[in-house]
């Protein structure tokens, strides 16, 4: 097995990806190394937490010197690193310049020859909102090239891993078709491509939909790479939706214009009164001091900060997976921008998919807002309560856990049988009281109560309701009395 999953939460997971140059713990971020530019060197990347790097084989291929050196010494000695290195194929250049001077087989073989750990075929990253006919034509070429790459790798019997990118522009059906075709090809890593323009435009809803479309097709055991995504603002969402690998050129590109990454957005260095970070750069310099440092050195310092904060975010996400609090973590992060908030709230339309992935037992349920209602723990609870069988003729339901009752009524969860009131999720749920919680959280509970009462129409229920609850407990079936 190339990819082994060790921990799960939401649709996210911690995994181990086996590469020719060693194991990589996912989720992780691959810093982009541009072999033409002397910036933060590959050898220094471990210090920030990098376990794997990514570089562009097309750039190496096109530059006589680099190419000769790579062919002679291999990719890893060219970059002076013993970390695994993934190589891109020129697809990015294809997207930017519309053309590349290399053929698929040629660039795949070149990546093999120089010893890339993860090879990418020359897929076509169709931009968002492309004509449907173009998107489909591009996709057909992409699929053909992926098949060719797979044949080449198999023939040579080499140990390099193969990435099978998934394209299809912003069309759900094409993304799904691309995923269907990709999963038939024997790959090791499944990148979702063509999302960078969407992320740059804060079109997070489109990216969330694309990821969910792909995940609804690709088996859970396959590692997913969200190609070109590396800004910490989106990492936790992408991981929670089941992405495992990310790559960041942002750390370097943003540093060029004094753009300082944070998990809640990008800041211009000169807008910062205080540095909102304690990384080795930000604990040594103030914002004012950084601005006084000459450009070239400052660019490296900002680039280093950008790496520190990106890997800090990766560690926070991994910690959240370990303690099964990834939903809670994401629900905080999406408050960094209203577009993130709406993008995440689309999960309410994918409850079946989420239920397939999310572990059914956790320690705690912290309510943070209406999107907490969309967690699988809630729908599973409602399902379980539907299957409860009743033997007595009369039951008590209380809105307060202090009263001893047969059932309890809770926001979000609705009817909670006494035996479920001690265990996860309803029994381990913390949420604001009815007067401070969102209407939706009470409505979902009252609707569940109504269904429950109707289902058990031959039983009688005495509901002991406190304060604000009484305002909500209206239009109940006749077999219930509110006391």
- State the catalytic residues: 88
Instruction: Please name which of 33, 93, 31, 48 lies closest in space to residue 230, comparing C-alpha atoms.
Output: 31
Choosing from 234, 367, 461, 472, the residue that interacts with a copy of itself (CB under 8 A) is 367
- Tokens 């489909």 appear where? 136
Q: Is 359 in the site for a copy of itself (CB under 8 A)?
A: no
Q: Two tokens at 367?
A: 């309510």
Question: What is each CA distance from 160 to 113, 163, 199, in whole angstroms?
Answer: 10, 10, 30
Eight-state DSSP code of residue 18:
E
Choosing from 339, 351, 451, 479, the residue that interacts with a copy of itself (CB under 8 A) is 339
Q: Is 466 in the site for a copy of itself (CB under 8 A)?
A: no
The dihedral built from the CA positions of residue 176, 95, 111 and 116, taken in this order, carries a sign that is negative
Contacts 24+ apart (CB under 8 A), 295-303: 298/258, 298/269, 299/39, 299/255, 299/256, 299/258, 300/39, 300/40, 300/255, 302/254, 302/255, 302/258, 302/259, 302/260, 302/269, 303/39, 303/40, 303/251, 303/252, 303/255
Cβ of residue 282: shortest distance to a copy of itself, in angstroms? 8
Nearer to a copy of itself, 295 or 363 (CB): 363
Contact, 2 vs 220, CB < 8 A?
no
The helix (H) or strand (E) run that includes residue 246 is: strand 245-248
Choosing from 315, 384, 386, 454, the residue that interacts with a copy of itself (CB under 8 A) is 315
Choosing from 274, 294, 387, 474, the residue that interacts with a copy of itself (CB under 8 A) is 274
Choosing from 221, 270, 342, 400, the residue that interacts with a copy of itself (CB under 8 A) is 342
Choosing from 153, 341, 445, 465, the residue that interacts with a copy of itself (CB under 8 A) is 341
Nearer to a copy of itself, 327 or 452 (CB): 327
Taking the C-alpha atoms of residue 444 and residue 452, their distance in angstroms, rounded to an integer, is: 12
Q: Is 352 in the site for a copy of itself (CB under 8 A)?
A: no
Nearer to a copy of itself, 318 or 375 (CB): 318
The string of DSSP codes covering 247-307 is EESHHHHHHHTTEEEETTEEEEGGG-SS-S--STTTTT--HHHHHHS-HHHHHHHHHHHHH
Tell me, by CB under 8 A, how many residues bind a copy of itself. Answer: 49
Site string for a copy of itself, 396-435 (x = CB under 8 A): ----------------------------------xxxx--
Strands (E), 418-470: 429-430, 460-464
The dihedral built from the CA positions of residue 137, 141, 142 and 146, taken in this order, carries a sign that is positive
Cβ of residue 16: shortest distance to a copy of itself, in angstroms? 14
Nearer to a copy of itself, 106 or 323 (CB): 323
Cβ of residue 72: shortest distance to a copy of itself, in angstroms? 36
Choosing from 266, 351, 368, 451, the residue that interacts with a copy of itself (CB under 8 A) is 368
Q: Which residues contact 208 (CB under 8 A, 6 or more apart)?
A: 237, 241, 343, 344, 346, 347
Q: Is 319 in the site for a copy of itself (CB under 8 A)?
A: yes
Q: Is 273 in the site for a copy of itself (CB under 8 A)?
A: yes
Q: Is 16 in the site for a copy of itself (CB under 8 A)?
A: no
Nearer to a copy of itself, 339 or 451 (CB): 339
Q: Is 439 in the site for a copy of itself (CB under 8 A)?
A: yes
Choosing from 4, 140, 406, 440, the residue that interacts with a copy of itself (CB under 8 A) is 440
The helix (H) or strand (E) run that includes residue 205 is: helix 204-215
Q: Is 323 in the site for a copy of itself (CB under 8 A)?
A: yes
Nearer to a copy of itself, 238 or 437 (CB): 437
Binding site for a copy of itself (CB under 8 A): 264, 271-280, 283, 308-309, 311-312, 315-316, 318-319, 322-323, 328, 331-332, 335-339, 341-342, 345-346, 366-370, 430-433, 436-440, 443
């Amino acid at each position: 097995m190339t990819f082994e999953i060790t921990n799960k939460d939401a649709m996210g997971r911690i995994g181990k990806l086996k590469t020719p140059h060693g194991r990589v713990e996912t989720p992780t971020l691959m810093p982009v190394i541009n072999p033409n530019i002397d910036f933060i060197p590959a050898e220094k990347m471990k210090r920030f937490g990098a376990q794997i790097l990514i570089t562009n084989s097309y750039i190496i291929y096109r530059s006589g010197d680099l190419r000769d050196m790579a062919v002679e010494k291999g990719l890893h000695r060219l970059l002076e690193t013993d970390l695994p290195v993934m190589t891109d194929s020129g697809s990015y250049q294809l997207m930017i310049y519309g053309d590349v001077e290399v053929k698929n087989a040629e660039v795949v073989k070149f990546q093999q020859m120089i010893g890339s750990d993860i090879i990418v075929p020359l897929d076509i990253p169709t931009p968002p909102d492309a004509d449907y006919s173009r998107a489909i034509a591009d996709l057909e070429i992409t699929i053909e090239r992926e098949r060719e790459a797979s044949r080449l790798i198999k023939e040579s019997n080499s140990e390099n891993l193969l990435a099978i990118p998934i394209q299809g522009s912003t069309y759900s059906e094409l993304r799904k078709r691309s995923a269907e075709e990709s999963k038939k090809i024997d790959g090791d890593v499944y990148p979702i491509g063509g999302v960078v323009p969407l992320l740059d435009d804060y079109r997070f809803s489109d990216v969330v939909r694309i990821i969910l479309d792909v995940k609804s097709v690709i088996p859970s055991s396959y590692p997913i790479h969200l190609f070109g995504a590396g800004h910490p603002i989106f990492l936790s969402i992408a991981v929670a939706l089941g992405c495992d690998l990310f790559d960041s050129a942002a750390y370097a590109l943003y540093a060029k214009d004094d753009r300082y990454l944070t998990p809640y957005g990008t800041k211009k260095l000169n807008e910062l009164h205080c540095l909102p970070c304690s990384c080795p750069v930000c604990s040594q310099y103030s914002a004012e001091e950084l601005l006084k440092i000459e450009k070239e050195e400052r660019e490296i310092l900002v680039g280093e900060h950008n790496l520190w904060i990106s890997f800090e975010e990766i560690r926070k996400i991994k910690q959240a997976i370990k303690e099964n609090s990834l939903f809670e973590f994401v629900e905080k992060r999406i408050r960094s921008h209203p577009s993130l908030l709406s993008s995440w709230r689309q999960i309410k339309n994918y409850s079946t998919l989420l239920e397939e992935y999310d572990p059914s037992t956790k320690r705690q349920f912290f309510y943070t807002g209406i999107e907490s209602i969309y967690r699988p723990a809630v729908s599973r609870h409602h399902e379980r309560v539907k299957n409860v069988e009743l033997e007595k003729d009369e039951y008590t339901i209380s809105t307060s856990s202090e009263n001893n009752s047969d059932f309890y009524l809770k926001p979000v969860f609705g009817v909670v049988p006494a035996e479920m009131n001690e265990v996860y999720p309803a029994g381990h749920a913390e949420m604001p009281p009815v007067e401070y919680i969102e209407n939706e959280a009470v409505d979902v509970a009252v609707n569940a109560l109504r269904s429950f009462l109707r289902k058990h129409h031959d039983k009688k229920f005495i509901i002991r309701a406190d304060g604000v609850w009484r305002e909500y407990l209206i239009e109940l079936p006749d077999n219930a009395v509110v006391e």
